[in-house]
């Protein structure tokens, strides 16, 4: 298999945007091309579009060729759309990885885009419910906040995890996003200052124990990156970022099919083991991570299943500052889904772009000192997890 390298990336401004689906995609593609002027559009032989709700909110079936067209690509070997709900962006990158690794294509653009904030606001919740098992869960009101609230209750009962510890995840991630201009909530900090523990704990209840600030925010946004074979990458950059390990595990789709307690996430544990093994590293080797904080409890459980602390100690991990700058591993330096917002299919690509910046030493005020190994985790349900591990390829 050939080695695969990330050579460019970019995001647009996330938030309640007037821009339509296509405009959002075009903005991210431009940012990505601007990040590496050595790349010639014509040499991109693959294009993978990640989008979840293109039909519902972008009113566009079969979106990949139309987006390729408006961003000036004519891929001669591969073009496709992928949809794996919240994990769609990481799925796009994984798909590009094996197409390049196999020797079939040399350079692929992955672009994730989501238009969520459409005028009929309640439609968002209908969409969220449609991502659950339609016949047996979504139709009874099991939207993501309700489902993850049950995981939070189980974790609290089993390990004594507290609402304060969950709020600390929110405070950390919002603090990080104060240095991320594209984040959904960036303007809020200028008006209201940092999010405090008190603000988070007093925010309105969404699904007990998850309050507004425990939840990721629905947002419009897009992100793009370009991957290339190692040979091609040598012509394009002197700061290569290598994909060194990846895994994807699906133990079940429906939440009711979990044959375990919701405080443990065996699919993630297995995905982590596989990815670390492929990368030839241990959990403690990870310097910086972008993980799926769709809710604060998710980040806490992920610390445990990704092997950074013992099972049940995720609450203590955040309380002791071990997932922050100066701790064991800096988690969600751009502010995560909670503060940047979560435009489903764009999220995984934006996370990967943040790791790319961090490993190249280009993350500005957010820079994690001397970051060499970065991990990106996405989930698309309790039983479905996606991981990619990246390594700085220069010294
Ligand atoms: C938490 C949630 C229910 C709130 O939605 P809502 O009640 O419709 O809230 P609105 O969008 O009307 O926003 C009202 C205000 O709260 C703010 N807000 C909304 N969601 C927020 C969040 N998650 N955190 C902080 N503030 C938030 C908005 O910015 C807005 O403030 P403003 O009036 O100052 O601009 C919604 O954000 C949600 O469903 N989040 C989870 C998304 C999800 O499930 N993703 C999939 C994960 S797997």
pLDDT tens-digit map of 132-173:
999 999 999 899 999 999 999 999 999 999 999 999 999 999
pLDDT exceeds 90 at position 350:
yes
Q: How would residue 121 be classed by pLDDT, with cut points 50, 70 and 90?
A: confident
Determine the Cα–Cα distance for residues 208 and 185; give it in Å rounded to an integer.
Answer: 23
Could you tell me if the CB of 314 is within 6 A of ligand 1? no
pLDDT exceeds 90 at position 343:
yes
Given this model, what pLDDT does residue 326 score? 98
Given this model, what pLDDT does residue 203 score? 98
Given this model, what pLDDT does residue 58 score? 86
Task: Report, as an integer, the average pLDDT of 43-68.
Answer: 95
Q: How would residue 127 be classed by pLDDT, with cut points 50, 70 and 90?
A: confident
Q: How would residue 229 be classed by pLDDT, with cut points 50, 70 and 90?
A: very high
Task: Report, as an integer, the average pLDDT of 18-42.
Answer: 97
Q: Are 222 and 366 in contact (CB under 8 A)?
A: no
What's the pTM? 0.98
Residue 259 carries which DSSP code? Answer: -
Given this model, what pLDDT does residue 122 score? 79
- To the query of whether residue 184 is one of the catalytic residues in this protein, the response is no
**CA torsion, ordered 335, 339, 344, 350, to nearest 10 deg:** -30
Q: Are 273 and 288 in contact (CB under 8 A)?
A: no
Determine the Cα–Cα distance for residues 115 and 113; give it in Å rounded to an integer.
Answer: 7
The atom of ligand 1 lying closest to the CA of 215 is: 23
Ligand 1 center to 9 CA (angstroms): 27
Task: Report, as an integer, the average pLDDT of 16-36.
Answer: 97
Task: Report, as an integer, the average pLDDT of 214-222.
Answer: 97
Determine the Cα–Cα distance for residues 113 and 124; give it in Å rounded to an integer.
Answer: 16
Determine the Cα–Cα distance for residues 274 and 280; give it in Å rounded to an integer.
Answer: 10
Task: Report, as an integer, the average pLDDT of 274-280.
Answer: 98
Which residue's entry shows tokens 């962006």? 89
Determine the Cα–Cα distance for residues 118 and 198; give it in Å rounded to an integer.
Answer: 31
Ligand 1 center to 59 CA (angstroms): 23
The CATH classification number of 4-120+218-236 equals 3.40.47.10
pLDDT exceeds 80 at position 120:
no
Helix (H/G/I), strand (E/B), else coil: 245? strand
Q: How would residue 124 be classed by pLDDT, with cut points 50, 70 and 90?
A: confident
Listed by start position, the domains of the chain span 4-120+218-236
Given this model, what pLDDT does residue 224 score? 99
pLDDT exceeds 90 at position 119:
no
Which of 14, 209, 215 is the pocket-test mutation for ligand 1 (most atoms within 8 Å of CB)?
Answer: 215
pLDDT exceeds 90 at position 206:
yes
Q: How far is CA 316 from the centre of its chain?
A: 24
Task: Give, in degrees to the nearest 5, the angle at Cα 241 between 240 and 243.
Answer: 130
Task: Report, as an integer, the average pLDDT of 2-26.
Answer: 97
Given this model, what pLDDT does residue 364 score? 98
Residue 31 carries which DSSP code? Answer: H
Task: Report, as an integer, the average pLDDT of 298-307.
Answer: 98
Could you tell me if the CB of 378 is within 6 A of ligand 1? no
Could you tell me if the CB of 342 is within 6 A of ligand 1? yes
> If we measure between CA atoms, which residue out of 139, 119, 136 comes closest to residue 128?
139
Q: Per the residue annotation, which of 184, 342, 377, 386 is the catalytic one?
A: 342
Task: Report, as an integer, the average pLDDT of 105-131.
Answer: 90
* Mean pLDDT (the chain, rounded): 97
Could you tell me if the CB of 86 is within 6 A of ligand 1? yes
- To the query of whether residue 86 is one of the catalytic residues in this protein, the response is yes
Q: How far is CA 85 from the centre of its chain?
A: 11
Could you tell me if the CB of 294 is within 6 A of ligand 1? yes
């Amino acid at each position: 298999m050939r080695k695969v390298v990330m050579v460019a990336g970019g995001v647009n401004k996330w938030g309640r945007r007037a821009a339509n689906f296509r405009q959002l995609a075009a903005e991210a593609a431009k940012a990505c091309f601007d990040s590496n002027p050595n790349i010639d559009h014509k040499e991109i032989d693959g294009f993978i579009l990640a989008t979840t709700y293109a039909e519902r909110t972008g009113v566009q079936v079969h979106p990949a060729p139309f987006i390729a067209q408006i961003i000036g690509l004519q891929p001669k070997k591969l073009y496709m759309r992928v949809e794996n709900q919240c994990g769609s962006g990481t799925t796009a990158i994984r798909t590009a990885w094996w197409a390049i690794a196999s020797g079939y294509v040399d350079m692929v653009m992955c672009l994730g885009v989501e238009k969520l904030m459409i005028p009929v606001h309640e439609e968002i919740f209908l969409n969220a419910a449609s991502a659950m098992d339609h016949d047996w869960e979504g139709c009874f009101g099991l939207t993501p906040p309700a489902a993850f609230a049950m995981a939070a209750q189980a974790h609290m009962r089993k390990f004594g995890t507290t609402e304060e510890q969950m709020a600390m995840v929110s405070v950390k991630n919002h603090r990080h996003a104060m240095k991320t201009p594209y984040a959904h909530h960036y303007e809020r900090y200028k008006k209201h200052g940092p999010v405090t523990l008190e603000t988070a704990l007093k925010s309105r209840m969404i699904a007990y124990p998850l309050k507004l600030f425990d939840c990721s925010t629905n947002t419009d946004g897009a992100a793009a990156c370009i991957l290339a074979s190692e040979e091609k990458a040598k012509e394009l950059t002197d700061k290569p970022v290598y994909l060194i390990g990846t895994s994807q595990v699906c133990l079940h789709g429906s939440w009711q099919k979990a044959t375990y307690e919701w405080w443990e996430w065996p699919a993630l544990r297995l995905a982590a083991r596989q990815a670390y093994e492929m990368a030839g590293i241990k959990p403690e080797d990870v310097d910086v991570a972008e993980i799926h904080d769709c809710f604060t409890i998710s980040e806490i459980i992920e610390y445990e299943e990704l092997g950074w602390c013992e099972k049940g100690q995720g609450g203590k991990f955040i309380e002791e500052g071990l997932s922050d700058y100066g701790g064991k591993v800096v988690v969600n330096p751009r502010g995560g889904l909670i503060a940047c917002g979560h435009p489903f299919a764009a999220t995984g690509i934006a996370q990967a772009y943040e790791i790319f910046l961090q490993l190249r030493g280009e993350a500005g005020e957010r820079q994690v000192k001397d970051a060499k190994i970065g991990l990106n985790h996405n989930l698309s349900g309790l039983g479905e997890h996606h991981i990619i591990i990246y390594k700085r390829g220069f010294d």
